[in-house]
Amino acid sequence: MQKTIGIAELAVSRTAADVLVTYSLGSCVGLTLFDPTRGLGGMIHCMLPLSSINDEKARQSPAMFVDTGIAELLRLLYEAGADPRRLIAKVAGGAAPLDDNGTFRIGERNLAVLRKMLSNNSIVLRGEQTGGTAARTMYLYLDSGRTVVKSRGREVEL
């Protein structure tokens, strides 16, 4: 069953029939984490890099921010039995869709914080489709851990 992860949302599943999907990854980043031994995975769609800009929003919606969102996703995966040594991480997004002349560089900053969070947790990034200007849709198939990204009529498996 397809389950949509909206902007500033996350989900964890171990149901093999589930497909987690998130749409409109522009400057936002989508991250999938999958433990192949447990058949357990999760997805998050983060908008902004650091929660320090609004502590109250971070408490209400940790997935809005890369730092608090990834921490929450990891917490939920570990509670469900994931082994951090087996997690397969893949990312999409981090684009500059409005070509803002690099003023805010939110996509770049989102990716930098994401990479730091994964590194701090000893998780290796195994696939990515990031940057550019195109929006992306990301899928995680729980039956296999396969991560697929669709953009501009093309489909790529990470």
Query: 2-157 — its CATH code?
Result: 3.30.1330.200
Pairing mode, strands 40-46 and 9-13: antiparallel
pLDDT score of 101: 59
- Is residue 29 within 8 Å of 46, Cβ to Cβ? yes
pLDDT of 32 higher than 70: yes
List, by residue number, the catalytic residues. 28
CB 10 within 8 A of CB 69: yes
How many angstroms separate the CA atoms of 52 and 68, rounded? 10
pLDDT tens string 12-25: 999 999 999 999 99
99-114 pLDDT, tens digit per residue, is 555 557 899 999 999 9
- For residue 39, is pLDDT > 90? yes
Burial (CB < 10 A; 0-12, 13-18, 19+), residue 57, is middle
Q: Which amino acid belongs to residue 18?
A: D
pLDDT of residue 97: 75
